Structures are given as C-alpha cells and as structure tokens.
Structure 1
Amino acid sequence: MIKDVFKKPTKWRIMKSLILKEVDELIFGSLGILIFIAFFMGAVVAIQTALNITSELIPKNLVGFATRQSIILEFAPTFCSIIMAGKVGSYITSSIGTMRVTEQIDALEVMGVNALNYLVFPKIVALCLYPFIISIAMYVGIFGGWMAAVFGGFSTSADFIEGVQLDFIPFHVTYAFLKTLVFAFVLATVPSYHGFYMTGGALEVGKASTTSFVWTSVVIIVANYILTQLLLG
C-alpha cells in the first residue's frame, strides 16, 4: 500500500487544498484535546511524585525533574499518540471506509485517479506537523505540573523550576520528536489501510474503526519499545 501511495501523484493544485484540509482536521482539530490531557497529565505526575517523597534526604527539586522527564520522554509523545489513535485514527478509518462503502473510491479509480495517493498522501503530509502539537503538549504538561505543585502546596516555584532545569539533556527532546514522527506515520497509514481495504456495509465501518484503533495502538507501543531501545539503550 505504501508504495502505491506515492505512485501517480494528484495535481498539486488539488493536492494543496487536500493537505490544508487535513491539517485543519487532524492537527488543529486535535490541539484542544491534547492541551487538556497534557495539562492534567503533568499535574498528576507532579502530585504523585511529591506524595511519594517521604525522606528529608530527597531534594525538593525532584518534583520538577520527574515531571519534566516523564512528560518529555514518555507521556507527551506516547500517551498522546495513543489518544490520537482513538480520535484521528477512527476519523481516518471511518471517512475512508464510508467512501469505500458508498463506492466513491471506485468512482475515483474509474476516473483514472490514484485513490491511495488522493486519500492517504495528504494525511501523511499533514501529520508531519504532528511534532508541533506534541511540543505544545510538552510545555503545557510541565506547566500543569508546576501549577499543581505550587498551588497544591507540594513544592515551591523555585524548587520546581530548578528541578525542570536540572541535568537537562537536549537529546531527550530530539528522541521524543523522532518517536513522534514515527508515530505520526503510523497514525496516517494504519487507519487508512483498515478504511481503504474494508469490505461490507455501514456496520463494518464501525468495526473497522475499532480494529484500526486497536492495531494502531499496538503498533505505537511496539514502535515505542524498539525506538527507545535503539536511541536510548
């Protein structure tokens, strides 16, 4: 399927509008839910870290340090991607699956249009901007941790910020963005595959959406393990 996506490209004049539409649907349409999730995710990590510091020997800046590491390394890129597998993946599968059921894909192929390029390629290009919203999720997650720690009385602002700055390794951000790009490709292709090659009627569209969410999540988790082993192992 991937090879066919890049064959016989659609005219740029048409493709440009398709890409912009997908950017609006997949990227900007997901910004609100990711900000909401990231904020409370960071807050929960900060509170749980603070509540588990029981020894006076443990520095108070550990709350900020643990929040930063958890959000940047794992929660923002991986957890948000699994959430996106439900939101974006289901949307992609259902939209393409509906076109398959209503024979719109057959009509495209009869007109000589490469349906895979027309439908899937704009989604792949649009999700190349996925690291942009993950970077916002990272910032919001750390900010949520700061608010929970400071206003909840678990840490002072100075201690939390000191922990956020402590032993910062820039490669960790690079690692997170590399993971995010791989996850973006998975989010674009796996749901598209389940939607494009589904058979049956309207009932099967819902089943295909559920199946695509499960398999997208599985591929993301496995890819996360492999990339972590390769890049950090």
Structure 2
Amino acid sequence: MFHSLGRYILLLRLSFRKPEKFSVYWSEIMREMVSVGIGSLGIVAIISLFIGAVATIQTAFQLISDFIPKTVVGGITRDSTILEFSPTITALVLAGRVGSAMASQIGTMRVTEQIDALEIMGVNAPGYLISPKIIAGVTMIPLLVIISVCLGLTGGYIACAASQDVSTNDYLRGLTDGFNPVIATVCCVKAISFGFVITSICSYQGFYVNGGSLEVGQSATRGVVWSCIMILFCDLIISRLLL
C-alpha cells in the first residue's frame, strides 16, 4: 500500500514538471475540457433534474403539516442539493464516465508501448498525458456541479408546479430564506477535490497497468472503484472540517 502511495505521489510530481512546449499542453488541456465538460453535460443534466424533483417531493411528504411553514421545503431542498446531492452524486457519475475513459486511454497507450515511445523521444509522458486531465477535471467538474445545482433546484420547482403539495411561491421563498454562504463554499471545495481525485486516481491506474487488453479493463474498474471510495471519504472529511 505504501509502495502504491509513493508511486502515486511520484507520478503527480512528474505530471506537473515544467512542460517542454506549452502550446502542445494547452491544446491537450482544451481537448480534455471539452471531453469532460461538454461530453458529460447531458447525463449530469438529466440526473440533476430528477434528483431535485425527487428530493422536493420526499421533503414535502415528510414535513408538510399545519405547524411547519411550507417554505421549509425549499430551504431543505436547497441545502441538501448544494451540500450533498449535486457535488457527490455528480462526482460518482463522472467517476464512471470520465474516470474509466481516462484509465482505459492511458492503459491502452501503456500496453501498446506508446508511452515508452514518448519517453524515448524525451517527452515527459506523465506531464503530457496526466496533467491536462487533472487540470480539466478540477476546472470542468466544479462547473458541472454548479450546473447540477441550478438544474436540481429547477427540478424541485417543476415538482412543486406539478404536484401542488407546495406552491411554487412558497418553494421560491424557501430557496432565498436563511441562505448561509458557507454551504456554497463547501460545495465548491468538494467539487474541486472530487475532480482531482477522479482524474488523478484513474490516470494512475492506467499509467501503471501491465499486460494486455484484459488488464486495461481491470485497471479502469479499479480506477472507478477507488475513485468512488475516495470521493465518499473526502466528502466526509470536508463536511467534518468545514461545517
């Protein structure tokens, strides 16, 4: 375990060495940003709308009574969406979509000796292959989380308009009442941390794969599993430290 941790830290150090040619790295960063951000927008939008709607319906079912103001539903939906649902569920979904693709791509390059060819030509392979992915992850995943929050709250509004258990005016009033800016800070910290975890762990699993196509698939699976575990662990630590 300590050997794997040492290799992981060494790989990160090599990934952020000074690039040989910045323009080449910049084009890779842009390509990875499009892949991570635009490529994941559809699945994130669908999941966020439904999660926001379900969270609102369930909160209304549990809390509506004559003694509880109906605006509470909007406040609880807002806080739970910003603090937990959007950053964590979005990250878990992206670990499966983005993380597995990164591990498979780098693993395929390893088993076909393309990484060895880069190193022979004097290219810093970790920097060329991994740093653009990490930069794209910590940049685009927070943006996807922000979109997820907006769509989740929109899904809650749609659920209120459709069910009439809570009026849309009460829901909107609940979204603005008693807002604590610290929950937005926690959401951003989680999103950035999750982006780093997904891209770095999956890239590590792909970079050190040995064997053939079977091992590439296994490395992608390990990358997703370890990413999900570390996402939940980071979620716990960040919530404990910042809340």
Structure 1 CA distance, aligned partners of 2:206 and 2:86? 27
- Asked if the contact 2:36–2:140 (Cα under 8 Å) also holds between the matched residues in 1, the reply is no
Residue 4 (1) aligns with residue 14 (2) = yes
CA deviation after TM superposition for structure 1 residue 30, in Å: 0.7
> Could you tell me which residue of structure 2 aligns to residue 125 of structure 1?
135
Partner residue in 2 for 1:59:
69
Aligned position for 1:208? 219
Matched, 1:183 2:194: yes
Q: Where in structure 2 are the equivalents of 1:142-157 lying within 5 Å?
A: 142-157=153-168
Amino acid of the structure 1 residue aligned with 2:132: P
Unaligned runs of 5+ in 1: none
Q: Deviations over 1:122-144 (max 9, x none)?
A: 11111223211111110000000
Take 1:50 and 1:129, find their aligned partners in 2: how far apart are those partners? Answer: 33
Q: Greater shift after overlay, 188-197 or 178-187?
A: 178-187
1:199 aligns with 2:210: yes
Alignment of 1:227 onto 2:238: yes
**SS of 1:212 mapped into structure 2:** helix
Q: CA deviation at 1:175?
A: 1.2
Give the length in aligned residue pairs.
232
C-alpha contact 1:10 1:118 (8 A) present in aligned 2: no
Identity %: 44
Give the whole-Å Cα distance in 1 for the aligned partners of 2:79 and 2:217. 37
Corresponding residue for residue 167 of structure 1: 178
- How high is the TM-score relative to the length of structure 2? 0.93
Give the Å deviation of 1:211: 0.9
What's the secondary structure of 2:20's corresponding residue?
coil
How far 1:212 moved relative to its partner?
A: 0.7
Verify the 8 A CA contact 1:64 1:162 in the aligned structure 2: yes
The one-character-per-residue Cα deviations of 1:170-225 (angstroms, maximum 9, x if unpaired) are 12111100111111111110000000001110011111111111100001110111
Q: CA deviation at 1:54?
A: 4.9
1:89 aligns with 2:104: no
Determine the structure 1 residue equivalent to 2:44.
34
Could you tell me how far apart the structure 2 residues matched to 1:39 and 1:226 are? 27
1:138 to 145, 149, 163: 149
Distance in 2, matches of 1:6 and 1:161, equals: 45
SS at match of 1:40: helix
